[in-house]
């Protein structure tokens, strides 16, 4: 037995020592990995060309800034100060002098090269393990110059995946509701931006109230609630064409829409005579199905990623609680049993967890529980916050938070925040206006 | 025999004393409750339980006909005062048979957006059902829930929230 253990140790230790760097994302990371992002090198001719078309002096260094910001906001990496870099970008990309990078305590290094090829932008990059003195990855992309920020996001996704072993979430977008004006007459517009806040765009003008936009997980379609002509109905919007249409022909308010994981159905609530039940509509054949049939409020439905189950919010026990049922509406089971009220359940894209909003003793929490209701964990507490939405890799939640108004009714704000599943790395997500109801897209490049 | 009688009298007296004591306690208790109510009324303004009873935000459809009713947190049950208001509205609607109305249901900001949309719809329908029992035809009434989207008081305090938990009857024509 003893011999066995010793053998085992001998076998494990050397392989660990030889193994390349890894980042553990399952715990709160208090020691983010020091990483050097060398500005991507660029030849003078390409530089001049892109300066004209993109109005950026040095597109190579701009792309590296995108990567750096992504890595920093992930909370898992600590991008080092560029002023301390000793090696020139073009030489580093060919063969880094690992001693130099070691000296500034970098454990990983990203280098790259940008080139103008037939009016397209070609970007290659390499990821290096500084301690082991080895190349970990090398890739190249060619695309239209306007996509340069996306190149930065895709590189971050590749680096993140190589170092953590899980898919990234950087080449993604957030759709949300932009808010302005006094609380009693709030103007709301649909808005969309890159995950890092760049390329913000308003999709509606603010003439009618809009709420709860959600991405189709398989395309760039969006479903949301609009009060167009004072008739609150679920709509479908194609972001690329701007074409929108009402979902179904319901004689009353439809709300709380989400797509099924295959993107073929919309699941939502329909309210009639004081009772809200859950319905689905098939987007191809327009067939409507009633999923719940109960005199209580049933709302906020969300599919499991395999489409077999639905979690939803119901007050059938007297107060708002979270329930899970089969996707045909059978086998309804309550899963939330802690103190307080529970709302907005959302199934994780990994399938193992349900994120929710909880109200307890006048405070609002964002939390997660297993799909059977066990293992409840509260990630953040505040005066008001709700509506978590998962990053496509199921590691980060984005939600919105509102501040209290004072006795004069001032001081109100609504902002987007993100937090890691670990409960660490809580961050304000910058938006040009106040914001609420965020929804995270799937990876654009997949 | 005499002794027995005396005993009976004694027991009766004792029971009486008990009753008197109990009653005093009841009265005392009632006093305490009432004074507690009185003070809580003072401290939070015009509320009973957490239902708004004031008139700050109330508008009138006609003289003596208030346009709105208020609800307790998470509730859609009509209070005695709400029913009285709705009976006045029903009487006014019966007199003005060409008028159609929208019942706008609202919730306070202390709930999730989607649930509050459903709750607002439920509140407006509670008002609709009551109007219908007083002879107002359902085809004169439409229902519109705003959830927590259109508060009338932007404050973040119990009194503001009580004003916002409401169903407002709005003339549609």
Residue A17 has pLDDT above 80, yes or no: no
User: For residue B28, what pLDDT is reported?
Assistant: 42
Q: What is the residue-averaged pLDDT of chain B?
A: 83
Q: Which residue segment(s) compose the domain that A54 sits in?
A: 2-164
Q: Which of residues 77-136 of B touch A (CB under 8 A)?
A: 109-115, 117-119, 121-122, 124-126, 129
Query: Does A446 fall in a domain?
Result: no
Task: Read off the pLDDT of each residue in A365-374 and give the average, rounded to a whole number.
Answer: 98
- Residues A282, A407, single domain; the answer is yes
CB distance B167 to B124 below 8 Å: yes
> Is position A445 within any domain?
no
* Per-residue confidence (pLDDT) for residue A410, from 0 to 100: 86
Answer whether residue B14 shows pLDDT above 50. no
* Contact call for A299 and B115, based on CB within 8 A: yes
A210-220 average pLDDT score:
93
| Same domain? A283 vs A304 | yes
Same domain, yes or no: A198 and A71:
no
CATH of the domain at A7: 3.40.50.10070
A113, A188: one domain: no
Q: Do B113 and A252 touch (CB under 8 A)?
A: no
Question: Is residue B72 predicted with pLDDT exceeding 70?
Answer: yes
With respect to residue A13, please indicate whether it lies within any of the assigned structural domains: yes
Tally Cβ neighbours within 10 Å of residue A98.
18
Q: Which pLDDT band, with edges at 50, 70 and 90, does A22 fall under?
A: confident
Burial label, A136 (beta-carbon count in 10 A; 0-12, 13-18, 19+):
middle
Chain A: residue whose CA lies nearest to B109: A384
Of B117, B121, B152, the CB nearest to A184: B152
- Average of per-residue pLDDT across A118-125: 95
Same domain membership, residue A193 and residue A129: no
Nearest chain B residue to A315, by CA: B115
Residues A211 and A347 in one domain: yes
Domain shared by A112 and A180, yes or no: no
In chain B, residues with a C-beta closer than 8 Å to the C-beta of A279 are none
**Chain A residues with beta carbon closer than 8 angstroms to that of B109:** 384, 402
Q: Which of B30-39, B128-137, B164-173 has the lowest mean pLDDT?
A: B30-39
Among A164, A181, A196, which residue terminates a domain?
A: A164
Say if A301 falls within a structural domain.
yes
**Closest Cα of chain B to A235: distance in Å?**
15
Query: To 10 degrees, what angle do helices B113-133 and B80-95 make?
Result: 60
Q: What integer pLDDT is reported at residue A29 of this predicted model?
A: 62
Backbone dihedral angles phi then psi of residue B52, each to the nearest 5 degrees: -70, 130
Residues in A touching B156 (Cβ below 8 Å) = 383, 404-406, 412
> Domain end: A164, A197, A232, which one?
A164
Model confidence pLDDT, tens digit, residues A246-259: 999 999 999 999 99
User: What is this structure's pTM?
Assistant: 0.89
Q: Which residues pair with A122 in a beta bridge?
A: A115, A142
Q: How far is A237 from chain B (nearest CA, A)?
A: 20
Same domain, A159 and A197: no
Q: Is residue A58 included in any domain, yes or no? A: yes
B155 touches chain A (CB under 8 A): yes
Q: pLDDT class for A48, splitting at 50, 70, 90? A: very high
Instruction: Measure CB to CB from residue A357 to each of B112, B155, B156 and give the nearest one.
Output: B112
B86 confidence band (pLDDT: 50, 70, 90): very high
Tens digits of residue pLDDT in A80-111: 999 999 999 999 999 999 999 999 999 999 99
pLDDT at B2: 39
Give the confidence band of B8 by pLDDT, cuts at 50, 70, 90: very low
Minimal Cβ distance to B118: which of A184, A297, A386: A297
- Indicate if A136 and A155 belong to the same structural domain: yes
Q: Let me know if residue A56 belongs to a domain.
A: yes
Beta bridge partners of A33: A77
Same domain, A70 and A93: yes
**Record: contact B157-A402, CB cut-off 8 A:** no
Tally of structural domains, chain A: 2
Does residue A414 have a pLDDT over 60?
Answer: yes
Examine the domain organization and report whether A61 and A178 are in the same domain: no
Which of A252, A344, A436 has its CB closest to that of B114?
A: A344
Asked if residue A202 lies in contact with residue A191, where contact means CB atoms within 8 angstroms, the answer is: yes
Closest CA to A66 of A148, A169, A144: A148
CB A153 within 8 A of CB A171: yes
Using CB atoms, which residue from A343, A383, A437 is nearest to B115?
A343
Tens digit of each residue's pLDDT (9 = 90 or more) over B87-124: 999 999 999 999 999 999 999 999 999 999 999 999 99
- Of the given ranges (A202-211, B11-20, B72-81, B111-120), which has the lowest mean pLDDT? B11-20
- Residue of chain B minimizing CA distance to A366: B112
CATH number of the domain where residue A431 is located: 2.120.10.30
Residue after which a domain boundary falls, among A142, A164, A186: A164
What's the rounded Cα separation, in Å, for the pair A183 and A404? 11
Percent of chain A scored above 70 by pLDDT? 94
Residues A102 and A188 in one domain: no
Query: What is the C-alpha separation between A150 and A144, in angstroms, rounded?
Result: 10
- Residue A346 lies inside a defined structural domain of this protein: yes
Report the pLDDT value the prediction gives residue A21, as an integer from 0 to 100.
73
Question: What region, left, alpha or beta, does residue A54 occupy, with left being phi > 0 and alpha being psi -120 to 50 degrees?
Answer: alpha
């Amino acid at each position: 037995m003893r011999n066995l253990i010793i053998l085992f140790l001998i076998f494990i230790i050397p392989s660990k020592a030889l193994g390349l760097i890894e980042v553990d994302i399952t715990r709160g990371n208090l020691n983010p990995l020091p990483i050097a992002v060398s500005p991507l090198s660029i030849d003078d001719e390409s530089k001049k060309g892109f300066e004209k078309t993109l109005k950026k002096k040095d597109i190579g260094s701009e792309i590296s800034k995108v990567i750096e910001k992504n890595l920093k906001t992930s909370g898992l990496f600590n991008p080092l100060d560029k002023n301390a870099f000793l090696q020139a970008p073009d030489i580093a990309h060919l063969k880094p002098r690992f001693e130099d990078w070691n000296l500034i305590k970098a454990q990983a290094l990203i280098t790259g090269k940008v080139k103008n090829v037939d009016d397209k932008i070609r970007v290659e990059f390499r990821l290096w393990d500084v301690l082991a003195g080895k190349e970990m990855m090398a890739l190249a992309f060619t695309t239209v110059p306007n996509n340069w920020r996306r190149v930065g996001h895709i590189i971050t996704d590749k680096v993140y995946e190589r170092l953590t072993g899980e898919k990234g979430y950087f080449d993604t977008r957030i759709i949300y509701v932009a808010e302005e004006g006094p609380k009693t007459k709030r103007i709301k517009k649909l808005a969309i931006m890159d995950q890092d806040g760049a390329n913000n765009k308003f999709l509606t003008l603010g003439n009618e109230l809009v709420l709860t936009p959600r991405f189709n997980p398989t395309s760039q379609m969006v479903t949301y609630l609009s009060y167009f002509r004072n008739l609150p109905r679920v709509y479908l919007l194609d972001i690329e064409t701007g074409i929108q249409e009402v979902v179904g022909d319901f004689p009353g308010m439809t709300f709380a829409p989400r797509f099924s994981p295959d993107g073929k159905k919309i699941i939502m609530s329909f309210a009639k005579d004081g009772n809200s039940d859950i319905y689905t509509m098939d987007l191809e054949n327009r067939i409507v199905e009633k999923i719940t049939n109960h005199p209580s409020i049933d709302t906020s439905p969300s599919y499991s990623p395999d489409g077999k189950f639905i979690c939803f919010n119901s007050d059938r026990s007297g107060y708002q609680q979270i329930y899970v049922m089969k996707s045909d509406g059978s086998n309804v089971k309550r899963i939330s049993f802690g103190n307080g009220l529970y709302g907005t359940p959302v199934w994780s894209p990994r399938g193992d967890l349900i994120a929710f909003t909880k109200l307890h003793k006048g405070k609002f929490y964002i939390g997660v529980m297993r799909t059977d209701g066990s293992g409840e964990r509260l990630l953040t507490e505040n005066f008001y916050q709700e509506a978590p939405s998962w990053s496509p890799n199921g590691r980060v939640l984005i939600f919105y938070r509102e501040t209290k108004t004072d006795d004069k009714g001032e001081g109100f704000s609504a902002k987007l925040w993100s937090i890691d599943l670990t409960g660490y790395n809580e961050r304000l997500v910058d938006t040009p206006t106040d914001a609420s109801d965020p929804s995270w897209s799937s990876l654009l490049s997949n | 025999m005499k002794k027995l009688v005396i005993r009976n009298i004694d027991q009766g007296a004792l029971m009486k004393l008990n009753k008197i004591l109990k009653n005093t306690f009841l009265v005392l208790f009632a006093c305490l409750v009432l004074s507690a109510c009185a003070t809580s009324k003072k401290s939070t303004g015009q509320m009973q339980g957490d239902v708004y009873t004031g008139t700050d935000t109330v508008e009138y459809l006609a003289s003596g006909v208030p346009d709105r009713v208020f609800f307790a947190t998470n509730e859609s049950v009509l209070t005695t005062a709400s029913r009285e208001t709705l009976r006045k509205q029903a009487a006014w609607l019966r007199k003005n048979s060409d008028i159609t109305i929208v019942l706008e249901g609202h919730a306070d900001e202390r709930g999730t957006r989607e649930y509050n949309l459903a709750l607002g719809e439920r509140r407006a329908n509670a008002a609709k059902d009551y109007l219908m029992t007083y002879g107002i035809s359902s085809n004169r009434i439409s229902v519109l829930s705003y959830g927590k989207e259109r508060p009338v008081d932007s404050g973040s305090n119990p009194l503001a929230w009580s004003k916002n938990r409401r169903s407002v009857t709005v003339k549609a024509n």
